[in-house]
């Protein structure tokens, strides 16, 4: 019985981490971030938008000036939040 509160806390944290957005995002919202202008991304905009609308976030493998980076995009109420992480 001691593990029950811990289990409930873990379940609550995991479900709150990645939820679909309240309103679906469009390709225009994605293009406003400018990631396809500055980075070389192998994933299509349609697949990126689909992942964001389904899971609430996506992590992309990209290149910036011959350097490998990851791009994390979160779908929030105020819009798409982009975070670039160097490898």
Spell out the alpha helix ranges (H) of 18-43: 27-32, 35-38
For the question of whether the overall pTM of this predicted structure is more than 0.85, the answer is no
- The pLDDT profile of the chain, 87 residues, written as one tens digit per residue, is 566 666 556 655 555 556 677 789 999 999 999 999 999 999 999 999 999 999 999 999 999 999 999 999 999 888 999 999 998
Distance CA 73, CA 31 (A): 12
Domain boundaries, given as residue ranges, for the chain: 18-86
């Amino acid at each position: 019985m001691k593990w029950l509160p811990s289990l409930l806390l873990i379940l609550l944290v995991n479900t709150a981490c990645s939820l679909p957005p309240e309103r679906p995002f469009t390709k225009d919202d994605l293009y406003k971030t400018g990631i396809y202008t500055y980075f070389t991304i192998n994933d299509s905009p349609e697949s990126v938008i689909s992942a964001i609308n389904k899971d609430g976030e996506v992590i992309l493998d990209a290149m910036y000036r011959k350097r490998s980076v990851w791009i994390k995009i979160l779908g929030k109420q105020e819009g798409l939040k982009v975070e670039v992480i160097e490898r």
